[in-house]
Amino acid sequence: MKQHYALNIAQINAQVVEAFDVNEIANKVYQHNFKHTPSKQKTIDRLTVKDIDRYKATCWLLSPPCQPYTNGGRKKDTEDPRAKALLHLIDLLPQLNVIPKYIFLENVKNFETSQSRNKLVEQLDALGYEINEYLLTPTQFGIPNHRMRYYLTARRSSKPREKTESYIENSKIQTEWMMSDTPIEESDLPSLSQFLEEGEDVDIKKWMVPERFILRLYKFRLDIVRPTDKHTSCVTKAYGSHHIQTSGSLVQTKDLECTDYNWDDTPSLLSFGLRFLSPTEVSRLHAFPGPAYQLSSNDANSNSNFSPPTCEPHLEFPQDVSQIQQYRLLGNSLNCWVVAKLYQCALFA
């Protein structure tokens, strides 16, 4: 779903022939927005050469499960059952009659040091792909949200190329966005207030952090941000739950002049009126298309060229998808603007 939105933002002339996701809630949201139900016949790890050839797909957009490569997932890498689908595709790739010309993959930081990554790039290199790898975060594109992610773009030439050395021996992960003339500093970013829901009809009570979530903490530091701040931390799938220490930024709604928080006095934090970002606000920071909202001209950064995407379909959640389910999906997501720029300037350039 997230990569489909990035295709639309990048205005790539492409037809999505099939989508796969093991998350039934994600599939429900995909069907609600794109009027197509992702495949339920087989999971990716059970696809055959014949199954894949039937789609005649010239491009694969991949977002494998991140748990095999995270600290919380114990970094079991290729030994983790959740890596099975990616490893299966790597094995099938040279056997296909219709080998995709383009391959894109995104995952968490740490994937770049994994055996899964090594297997992937070795196979792509053997098949004649031009490979580029990146570690990028939305702040480099003018969005006040830290979400460092690994990205791979691979494009296969129809002409045989002279191969003198293996890619993996000389590979380099790019950490700067190549299309930006000058690095974007935090002071150049738009403030968080530009992404917040506003208006008399906005009721923030449903996003307030329950007092019990705060009082259970002891000497834990929270990432508290004010509307005037120009940074937010990475939102994880645990956002909106009692895991408030590490799941993302909390918005301060009271006593905005004060930033001197007494972490030893947990009850004192209640006076700041802490709330979660709403699902809409998280989706804006992740650059999902939605109804127009305008970044003020004196706050937007000229280097970034970030403009809130409004292409249709907008991201909408079915009414029976709960708020906590929305947070989980968004926490497992990516930044659509970053991916769209990689499509435009690297994958399909």
At 65, the pLDDT band (50, 70, 90 cuts) reads: very high
The string of pLDDT tens digits covering residues 27-38 is 999 999 999 999
Decide if 66 is catalytic.
yes
| Residue 298 reports pLDDT greater than 60 | no
User: Tens of pLDDT along 207-230?
Assistant: 999 999 999 998 899 999 999 999
**Is 161 in a helix, a strand, or coil?**
coil
pLDDT of residue 293: 86
d(CA 309, CA 8): 9
- With a CB cutoff of 8 Å and minimum separation 6, the contacts of 107 are 63, 64, 66, 69, 149, 150
Domains of the chain, by residue range, sit at 1-184+335-346
pLDDT (0 to 100) of residue 40: 87
Mean pLDDT for 147-168 is 88
φ, ψ for residue 154, nearest 5 deg: -140, 130
Read off the DSSP letter of residue 242: S
Q: Select which of 66, 258, 311, 336 is catalytic.
A: 66
pLDDT at 125 over 80: yes
103, 151 Cβ separation under 8 angstroms: no
Stretch 238-267: mean pLDDT, rounded? 96
User: Which one-letter DSSP state was computed for residue 247?
Assistant: S
pLDDT at 300: 44
- Is residue 3 within 8 A of residue 339, CB to CB? The reply is yes
Q: Which CATH superfamily is domain 1-184+335-346 in?
A: Vaccinia Virus protein VP39 (3.40.50.150)
